[in-house]
């Protein structure tokens, strides 16, 4: 089975880098990934077609990653979706706060294929 992924980031360049890094990781994922430029756009797209894993930036206009997390976790139909927050911020407080608010994982940008492979493999085996 190939897992479906959505990458949410306000930088199109960063989305491309993240998608490339994920493809380089040896994971059972679909080659075609969904993209969104902010939390609001992600919510709209997910209503049309949910995915298995979301990698979501924190700092974005319109709706940031923490607001997106709150909205997504308020929808019980999306309980199965794994949400990984992605940010340049790596303070323990931010990470703990994200996990406490329903994020399944947290990864700091920039990350290597090996790092994301490890994080996603842990989530996919749950």
Using CB under 5 A as the binding rule, whether residue 57 contacts Mg ion is answered as: yes
Report the candidate in 111, 93, 40 with the shortest Cα–Cα distance to residue 119: 111
> What is the per-residue DSSP string for 71-97?
HHHT-GGGTT-EEEEEES---HHHHHH
Rounded distance between C-alpha atoms, residue 37 and residue 39, angstroms: 7
Using CB under 5 A as the binding rule, whether residue 88 contacts Mg ion is answered as: no
Rounded distance between C-alpha atoms, residue 104 and residue 124, angstroms: 11
The span of 30-38, 39-47, 55-63, 106-114 binding Mg ion (CB under 5 A) equals 55-63
- Report the nearest approach of Mg ion to the CB of residue 83 (Å): 16
Closest CB to Mg ion among residues 52, 57? 57
Q: What string marks each residue from 60 to 79 as x (binds Mg ion by CB under 5 A) or -? A: x-------------------
Residues that bind Mg ion (CB under 5 A): 10, 57, 59-60
């Amino acid at each position: 089975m190939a897992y479906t992924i959505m990458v949410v980031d306000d930088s199109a360049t960063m989305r491309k880098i993240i998608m490339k890094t994920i493809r380089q990781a040896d994971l059972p994922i679909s080659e075609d990934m969904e993209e969104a430029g902010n939390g609001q756009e992600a919510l709209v797209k997910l209503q049309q077609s949910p995915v298995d894993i979301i990698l979501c930036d924190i700092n974005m206009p319109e709706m940031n990653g923490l607001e997106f997390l709150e909205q997504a976790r308020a929808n019980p139909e999306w309980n199965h979706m794994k949400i990984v927050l992605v940010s340049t911020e790596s303070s323990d407080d931010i990470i703990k706060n994200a996990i406490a608010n329903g994020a399944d994982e947290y990864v700091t940008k920039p990350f290597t294929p090996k790092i994301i492979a490890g994080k996603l493999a842990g989530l996919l085996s749950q």
